[in-house]
Structure 1
């Protein structure tokens, strides 16, 4: 089958694809010098995110030409032991870009705190700054420091856009400071499942996210996160950060999560965690400390992360 290279523009990222085959499932063939490894992040010994890191120091981070994605997608999916999977991290000479992959769809540029931690571990210095290139031409600056395999990071973001809306008798708060999120306060309507709500409120894309926050009579509010793959197996860093950003600017959200903590479900059981702090600078930009995570790297050989 003859390979044609066309350029899809995803924000400021150019993504090649084979137009004669289903989008996002082409064979991977890095056609320039690249180091490839698998990564796994853990929090408290619990597996959180699996993915693949491709380092091409001669390229810009947002230049994804000469990369095809079939074996990348398979390798990034990894085992079913983690809360999230399918991330591809492309590290270039000027920063990094993170993509979400799926066998059924074209990869999409996304924000991911766990994938960014892998960038911090692999960066040339043990501490410093990395520029992340995100969707819709946006970028973020990540300050990081590493101790062994542990990575600390603070994200520096431009001023956010948060809105409040109503849908099916529920309050909906929207924020695209990180991924494109719709946050529903209270449970979903009985006749609507999470995927239907996600598509109705945010859209079908891999970067479109839904969170449902339920406040019990007593105790911390409970949150569940949903993406194109279904229910997230824990709480994504960017999801908790999005809730914190909305609570910082929305009195409604602040009153709903009055003590600044939420609970979420994992395979290991229910976890209660504080929302990250949000520091707003005089110009409106934000600094958000992300949770510390452990990053483990593995060799990549024969089209699989070992």
Structure 2
């Protein structure tokens, strides 16, 4: 079977974010194998304009599945608001309600509004995150294993410790292990780090994780009292509001993600799935 590769590039306020591929498999009888996803990820990892790449979103009959691969084509299921937005753009309904299938069998419901290239999305989860508030090498840290596995550290990091080393020590080496460092000297300046190094912007899942953690950790609430962060992007500092976090009458957690613009491109090449 062959299916068109629907390449995507997301933007926030006109600034490039994530690139990758959406594969519409709603009419297939078999989901692609991990090796096939890894090969497709590898082909979408070379966009110098993007702040993140190598994401594959499968738009399937049961909802949206997002995967990430590293340079060795090791594949892992991840949460990614940009890739979900791209799948929603392919789905192309003015208003949609779909399941998003995350790591470890967890899922959420995403409700979206689509107007031209603009995508607004709200994620709803049952239950609430487990947040571990602890100390590490004399620094305050929040470990949040809800939207990927994040360590939020009140920096600066100890002398001689790199962000990569801190991430490895606090949350491990997997593709969904992330680090956010909050600079106490500048209050709300945050840098984000992942398996590829420092993120070029502020990822949606990282923003949402900060929004969740500041509701539980008093030290982080003080540092992020404005409800926004500042981060470096393209050599310039930008301010970004944290997502609104709501609780439904049924006790569900609703995360109102920042809006994105999505550009789609269907190249001539098709992707062939093994028989």
Q: TM-score, normalised on structure 1?
A: 0.83
Give the corresponding residue for 1:73: 41
- Asked if structure 2 preserves the Cα contact closer than 8 Å seen for 1:71 and 1:303, the reply is no
Specify the SS of the correspondent of 1:57.
Answer: coil
Indicate yes or no: 2:59 matched with 1:91: yes
Change (3 A) 1:150 1:65: same
TM-fit CA distance, 1:105: 4.6
Change (3 A) 1:236 1:292: same
Give the corresponding residue for 2:8: 39
Give the corresponding residue for 1:236: 203
Specify the SS of the correspondent of 1:176.
Answer: strand
- Asked if structure 1 preserves the Cα contact closer than 8 Å seen for 2:231 and 2:239, the reply is yes
Aligned residue pair count: 270
TM-fit CA distance, 1:120: 1.3
Change (3 A) 1:94 1:303: closer
- Asked if structure 2 preserves the Cα contact closer than 8 Å seen for 1:37 and 1:52, the reply is yes
Partner deviation per Cα, 1:212-270 (whole Å, 9 max, x = no partner): 011236xx511000000000000001100000001112222112212212100100510
TM-fit CA distance, 1:60: 7.9
TM-fit CA distance, 1:107: 1.0
Indicate yes or no: 2:238 matched with 1:271: yes
Give the corresponding residue for 1:126: 94
Residue range with higher mean Cα deviation, 87-96 or 275-284: 275-284
Specify the SS of the correspondent of 2:202.
Answer: coil
Distance 2:200 2:257 in 1: 18
Partner deviation per Cα, 1:12-57 (whole Å, 9 max, x = no partner): xxxxxxxxxxxxxxxxxxxx35332100001122110000111111
Which residue among 154, 166, 184 is the counterpart of 1:215? Answer: 184
- Asked if structure 2 preserves the Cα contact closer than 8 Å seen for 1:213 and 1:223, the reply is yes
The 5 Å alignment of 1:80-229 reads 80-123=48-91, 125-158=93-126, 159-216=128-185, 220-229=187-196
Change (3 A) 1:35 1:226: same
Distance 1:36 1:279 in 2: 36
Specify the SS of the correspondent of 1:76.
Answer: coil
Partner deviation per Cα, 1:99-149 (whole Å, 9 max, x = no partner): 111122511100111111111111152212111000011001111011111
RCO higher in structure (CA 8 A, sep ≥6): 2
TM-fit CA distance, 1:190: 1.1
Specify the SS of the correspondent of 1:300.
Answer: coil
RMSD: 2.0
Unmatched tracts of structure 2, length 5 or more: none
Residue range with higher mean Cα deviation, 261-270 or 237-246: 261-270
Q: TM-score, normalised on structure 2?
A: 0.92
